[in-house]
Chain A
Amino acid sequence: MDFLNAIIALLNFVVVPAVAYGSQLALGALGVTLIYGILRFSNFAHGDTMAFGAMITVLFTWLFQSWGISLGPLPTALLALPIGILGCMALLLATDRVVYRFYREQKAKPVILVIVSLGVTFILNGLVRFIIGPDDQRFADGERFIVSARTFKELTGLREGLAIKTTQGITVITAVVVVALLFWFLNRTRTGKSMRAYSDNEDLALLSGINPERVVMITWLIVAGLATIAGVLYGLDKSFKPFTYFQLLLPIFASAIVGGLGNPIGAIAGGFVIAFSEVTVTYAWKKVLTYLMPEGLEPDGLVQLLSTDYKLAVSFLILLIVLLFKPTGLFKGKAV
């Protein structure tokens, strides 16, 4: 019984949150890795792109809520999500037209585009705070739990409860669907293949009659979709605060690099590696250990390796270790 309780506690406090967080990171890292692979630079503005898409979605969620429209048990934000994606697409295409295209025409080296994207970050940062403010915003509604801790306890008679939040369920399902669609698109469709061809060899793509500007445009559109979905899912699961999205940049980049930059499968694997490390290192293991250890040997302290305040340090540490020992990432990406 104690063993079962330990497993449930582990699932409830570590596995379920980490899977949800990992899916959000994976979606973010996919966007980063696509831009790296096709547009050839590390897009520092990705966190704030997520914030912008999520912001549009939050605003429209509020509008729908004020109109009394809802999706029943599901969050209204899902209804506003397509509008958020469209808004984000418009933003990215406008940024590309006004900022990035100039540098592409100059054949600017990637490092210059990285710095340019940092500039875009600050602009977006300001824009989002100007529109919605720097504070925490809540926009989740609908049913809160798929399985609540109390019903689980009543159902199983165990001492530990397992809670699965609706947002966690939605996060994982959406991530699976989006990833499947993306892989199908990249590997099976003509346009997807032309994007891989462009990533492989720009000049030869040109010689094959592939229009580079079209490839760039489609990349931005897909990235807008991925970023907005990741941003909204994160916001639903936690809350929407512009600064958090800027901070998310570190775990997202860590995920992309740990998995192997430029490799979509790596981005997903990296997302889960980072999420599980962050959660396990900052989780207080006392409860689980109390169930598992023989009587009299239970730990007195919390058995928490790092305070949650340091969770960003975990991504940073993993990033360092990977760069030192396996710079191409877990799945063979570009050598870093």
Chain B
Amino acid sequence: MSTEPYSDRGNRDLSLGNPAGMGTAHAVAKGGKAFVASGGPFLIGEAMTGGYGAGPDILHDCTIAVDRGEIAVIVGPNGAGKSTGMKAVFGMLNLRAGHVRLDGEDITALTPQARVAKGMGFVPQTSNIFTSMTVEENLEMGAFIRTDDIRPTMEQIYDLFPILREKRAQAAGELSGGQRQQVAVGRALMTKPKVLMLDEPTAGVSPIVMDELFDRIIEVARTGIPILMVEQNARQALEIADKGYVLVQGRNAYSGTGKELLADPEVRKSFLGG
């Protein structure tokens, strides 16, 4: 017997319920306000401690940050809390301690929607597109909070990812892995974010597509959007990173510039395969 009162028991009958696509985020509740807290990097999750719902802590005093014009990369073994750290920065889980600051404001108490409005864009690792909607509708939903003309931004994204222009009327769920990731990044760019967070954008795509995605990400970074990203391909990611974080069991193990981490013998031995 499970002790959790709202567990999965008796929940397999799809004629009763529709669990597909159900939210898993224990998002920050609405009602919180941002306040001025100047200083520090452009976006920082500082000394974050917390986990999902009432579960155990996954992050322990973890800090990740990215500054203007930079690419910051988070690497680490499986289960290190990389994705959790990203979600925490976006308000998809409640922090027990620590702060998130963006552009001189403390946004720890803001809901994820409010953070989108503040200029944050996030591409989660899995389920990062609306599979039943067309490519164009996916981009439109990305721009949901905007009230101005979204056509020019959409054109920019089609220029960045030309294949999406071809497939604009196709359901996003029918696309290949690499194309889906392009839709996902495109959707996040539609808000014209001030900072972009990518959770393993190259997961599950072929090496050639991966190289191309990295090129596109660098291209986006060159337009001046700071990028905070989690990456499995640690070596390749650290090579393009201005700043790198190695997380182990929800804690900061090493941090430094990408080059420093690549040169660090400890990091090389433990995470980069020698």
Contacts and interface: CB of A to CB of B under 8 A. Distances in A.
B50 interface: no
A215 to B, nearest CB: 11
B144 interface: yes
A207 interface: yes
Chain B interface helix/strand/loop/mixed: loop
A128 B152 CA distance: 54
Given A111-B11, A194-B144, A208-B144, A203 B19 contact: no
Given A37-B18, A111-B11, A334-B20, A190 B144 contact: yes
Interface string A80-118: 000000000000000000000001001111111110000
A102 to B, nearest CB: 11
A110 B17 contact: yes
A110 B116 CA distance: 28
Given A42-B16, A106-B6, A204-B124, A194 B141 contact: yes
A193 B127 CA distance: 18
Contacts of B113: 206, 209-211
Given A193-B141, A196-B132, A210-B144, A110 B191 contact: no
Assign chain A's interface to a size class. Answer: 35 or more
A257 B16 CA distance: 10
Contacts of B21: 40, 199-202
A206 B117 CA distance: 11
Contact of B122 (A199, A207, A257): A207
A197 B130 contact: yes
Contact of B116 (A113, A207, A323, A336): A207
A109 B24 contact: no
A67 B225 CA distance: 67
Nearest to A205: B141
B8 A334 contact: no
B270 to A, nearest CB: 32
Given A193-B141, A194-B141, A200-B130, A206 B27 contact: yes
Contact of B17 (A114, A194, A199, A202): A114
A203 B18 contact: no
Contacts of A201: 21, 127, 129-131
B16 A202 contact: no
Contacts of B7: 109
Interface in B1-46: 6-8, 10-11, 13-27
A40 B22 contact: yes
Nearest to B120: A207
A33 B209 CA distance: 39
A335 B6 contact: no
Contacts of A257: 15
Given A206-B23, A208-B116, A109 B11 contact: yes
A87 to B, nearest CB: 28
Of B26, B112, B116, B141, most buried by chain A (CB within 10 Å of CB) is B141
Contacts of A208: 116, 141-142, 144-145, 187, 191
Contact of B92 (A193, A203, A210): A203
A212 B26 CA distance: 13
A272 interface: no
Contacts of A60: none
A261 B15 contact: yes
A81 to B, nearest CB: 30
A124 to B, nearest CB: 19
Interface string A241-267: 000000000000000010001100000
A217 to B, nearest CB: 14
A113 B17 CA distance: 8
Q: List the 9 closest pairs (A to B, CB-CB), nearest first.
A: A110-B17, A202-B23, A209-B116, A209-B145, A40-B18, A109-B11, A336-B15, A200-B130, A108-B6
